[in-house]
């Protein structure tokens, strides 16, 4: 098996790009750390969080207490709910414009600041630089999401420095949630190193300058992480709510749909209707590239999470992966138009990044997986496999004839 040993409980293997270990009982580190969710004293952990944020509270409300990075999806509503309504903090919301916004994502972002009565700072890096970077990183790293990941992880930190707001509050830590890189009790915080090694695939803004002669200082400076002495002078730290709250994205999104007007939508490549509804590409070409490079796609992440929460059996998950992994990436034409490449050129670049450990070229331009890490490829999901995620809207959300106060204006 080219994927290495698989976990006996979830669908991850030793080849997970974040790195995981499998113990003598055949259970992966991600599943082991997940067990903490049912063992820890979460009331006690919430009190630890309250004590942690207390010194950052500004009593007279004259300035912001903290920064909360948000988007039009991905637990943002739940994070702001915890920060504003349960911790009683006054956050400044910050969001990086990915340019791949769906109308539903823009709607959810507007709903977020209106329903929670929050100020929102939106970072729009000029689209010419975002495209130049995307062309370069797509060709070289097989990543069309570098500018999004770099922007959304650095803009909150830059804002913390500029506004002198030391506390940044994130949702869950992906390394903890997926592969059990840390225990909840380590209370791990944001670091420059995790961002570079995992979020940015080892390439920071300055690395792009040395790799690509097509990029200039004016293209990358917005993505540069502040220096340590600058961070230390403000006392910037980033904490993760997932260390203090029993993190369960499905339940959290459903709560926010019921109480705060969050909306989800259906995708072809996964059953999760809540996570990535703000982006045309995350579950499209970006997810396809993940499959090409790593041999699995986002539906596997969703399945592993649902298995661990006890809502899917391994067999159901295997059929869901088989079903969704075969779906063609949607909205590719939209991406080609934005980037200014034709579909064949894009296909060529994608195929250059086929990982030969997972793919074999059966005839010129045709690729087959070497081994399915999942179920026999012919197996289809059954009606009883449907985990029952709700789609309350569509990505093409139409707000009718109303003012749209935050949006991209027109396509760039
Ligand atoms: Zn596992």
Model confidence pLDDT, tens digit, residues 169-179: 999 999 999 99
- Six-digit token pair at 230? 């600058």
Q: Which residue did the predictor score with more confidence, 283 or 380?
A: 283
How many Å lie between the centroid of ligand 1 and the Cα of residue 198? 20
pLDDT at residue 412 in the model: 53
Contacts of residue 214, defined as CB under 8 A and 6 or more positions apart, other chains included, come to 132, 135, 136
Nearest to 138 by CA among 196, 100, 18, 130: 130
How many Å lie between the centroid of ligand 1 and the Cα of residue 230? 40
Q: Which residue did the predictor score with more confidence, 375 or 296?
A: 296
How many Å lie between the centroid of ligand 1 and the Cα of residue 275? 21
- Over the chain, what is the mean pLDDT? 92
Region at 124 (left for phi over 0; alpha for psi -120 to 50; beta for the rest): beta
Strands of 14-109, DSSP E: 66-69, 91-96
pLDDT at residue 395 in the model: 81
pLDDT at residue 178 in the model: 97
Residues 63, 165 contacting (CB under 8 angstroms): yes
* pLDDT tens digits along 153-189: 999 999 999 999 999 999 999 999 999 999 999 999 9
pLDDT at residue 407 in the model: 63
Contacts of residue 99, defined as CB under 8 A and 6 or more positions apart, other chains included, come to 127, 130, 338, 408, 412
How many Å lie between the centroid of ligand 1 and the Cα of residue 352? 30
Distances, alpha carbon 85 to alpha carbons 3, 71, 116, 258, 398, in Å: 44, 18, 8, 16, 29
Contacts of residue 67, defined as CB under 8 A and 6 or more positions apart, other chains included, come to 91, 92, 93, 94, 156, 159, 160, 163, 165, 167, 168, 169
What is the length of the chain?
412
The helix/strand count (H/E) of the chain reads as: 17, 7
Integer-rounded Cα Rg, in Å, for the chain is 21
Has residue 278 got a pLDDT over 80? yes
- Six-digit token pair at 401? 């004839």
How many Å lie between the centroid of ligand 1 and the Cα of residue 304? 7
* pTM for this prediction: 0.94
How many Å lie between the centroid of ligand 1 and the Cα of residue 309? 12
Residues 338, 131 contacting (CB under 8 angstroms): yes
Mean pLDDT of 145-154: 96
Distances, alpha carbon 168 to alpha carbons 53, 94, 136, 160, 243, in Å: 10, 10, 30, 7, 14
Question: 107, exposed or middle or buried, with CB in 10 Å at 0-12, 13-18, 19+?
Answer: buried
Has residue 404 got a pLDDT over 80? no
* pLDDT tens digits along 327-364: 999 999 999 999 999 999 999 999 999 999 989 999 98
How many Å lie between the centroid of ligand 1 and the Cα of residue 268? 25
Q: What's the rounded Cα separation, in Å, for the pair 135 and 374?
A: 32
* pLDDT tens digits along 359-398: 999 998 889 888 765 544 556 788 888 888 988 888 877 6
How many Å lie between the centroid of ligand 1 and the Cα of residue 21? 9
How many Å lie between the centroid of ligand 1 and the Cα of residue 29? 7
Centre a 10 Å sphere on the Cβ of residue 152 and count the other Cβ atoms it contains: 21
pLDDT band (50, 70, 90) for residue 399: low
Percent of the chain with pLDDT over 70: 94
Nearest to 330 by CA among 400, 394, 257: 394
Has residue 406 got a pLDDT over 70? no
Residues 149, 282 contacting (CB under 8 angstroms): no
pLDDT band (50, 70, 90) for residue 237: very high
CA torsion angle 109 113 114 118 (round to 10): 180
Q: What's the rounded Cα separation, in Å, for the pair 315 and 371?
A: 17
How many Å lie between the centroid of ligand 1 and the Cα of residue 183? 15
Q: What's the rounded Cα separation, in Å, for the pair 147 and 222?
A: 10
How many Å lie between the centroid of ligand 1 and the Cα of residue 293? 21
pLDDT at residue 120 in the model: 95
Mean pLDDT of 318-325: 92
* pLDDT tens digits along 67-125: 999 999 999 999 999 999 999 999 999 999 999 999 999 999 999 999 999 999 999 99
Q: What's the rounded Cα separation, in Å, for the pair 339 and 362?
A: 29
* pLDDT tens digits along 27-46: 999 999 999 999 999 999 99
How many Å lie between the centroid of ligand 1 and the Cα of residue 4? 13
How many Å lie between the centroid of ligand 1 and the Cα of residue 192? 27
pLDDT band (50, 70, 90) for residue 1: very low
The CB-side HSE value for 10 (13 A sphere, CA atoms) comes to 33
How many Å lie between the centroid of ligand 1 and the Cα of residue 287? 21
- Six-digit token pair at 16? 């997970």
């Amino acid at each position: 098996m080219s994927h290495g040993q698989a976990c006996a409980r979830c669908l991850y293997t030793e080849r997970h790009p974040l790195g995981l270990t499998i113990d003598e009982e055949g259970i992966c580190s991600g599943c082991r750390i997940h067990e903490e969710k049912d063992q820890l004293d979460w009331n006690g952990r919430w009190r630890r969080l309250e004590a942690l944020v207390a010194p950052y509270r500004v009593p007279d409300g004259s300035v912001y207490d903290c920064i909360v990075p948000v988007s039009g999806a991905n637990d943002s509503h739940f994070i702001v709910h915890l920060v504003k309504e349960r911790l009683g903090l006054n956050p400044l919301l910050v969001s990086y414009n990915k340019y791949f916004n769906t109308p539903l994502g823009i709607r959810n972002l507007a709903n977020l600041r209106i329903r929670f009565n929050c100020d929102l700072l939106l970072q729009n890096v000029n689209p010419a630089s975002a495209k130049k970077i995307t062309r370069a990183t797509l060709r070289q790293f097989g990543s069309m999401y570098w500018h999004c990941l770099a922007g959304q992880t650095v803009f909150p930190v830059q804002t913390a420095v500029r506004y002198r707001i030391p506390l940044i509050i994130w949702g869950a830590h992906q390394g903890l949630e997926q592969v059990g890189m840390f225990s909840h009790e380590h209370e791990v915080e944001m670091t420059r190193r995790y961002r570079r090694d995992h979020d940015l695939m080892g390439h920071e803004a300055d690395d792009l300058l040395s790799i690509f002669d097509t990029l200039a200082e004016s293209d990358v400076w917005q993505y540069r992480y502040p220096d340590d002495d600058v961070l230390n002078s403000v006392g910037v730290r980033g904490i993760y709510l997932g260390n203090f709250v029993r993190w369960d994205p499905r339940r959290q999104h459903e709560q926010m749909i019921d109480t705060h007007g969050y909306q989800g939508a259906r995708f072809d490549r996964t059953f999760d209707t809540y996570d990535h509804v703000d982006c045309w590409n995350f579950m499209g070409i970006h997810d396809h590239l993940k499959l090409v490079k790593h041999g699995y796609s986002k539906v596997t992440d969703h399945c592993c999470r649902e298995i661990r929460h006890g809502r899917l059996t391994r067999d159901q998950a295997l059929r869901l992966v088989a079903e969704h992994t075969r779906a063609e990436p949607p909205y590719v034409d939209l991406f080609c138009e934005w980037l200014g490449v034709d579909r064949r050129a894009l296909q060529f670049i994608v195929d250059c990044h086929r990982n030969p450990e997972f793919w074999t070229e059966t005839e010129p331009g045709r690729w087959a997986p070497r081994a399915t890490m999942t179920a026999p490829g012919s197996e289809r999901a059954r009606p009883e496999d449907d985990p029952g995620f709700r789609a309350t809207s569509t990505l093409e959300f139409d707000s009718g004839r109303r003012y749209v106060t935050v949006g991209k204006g027109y396509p760039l």
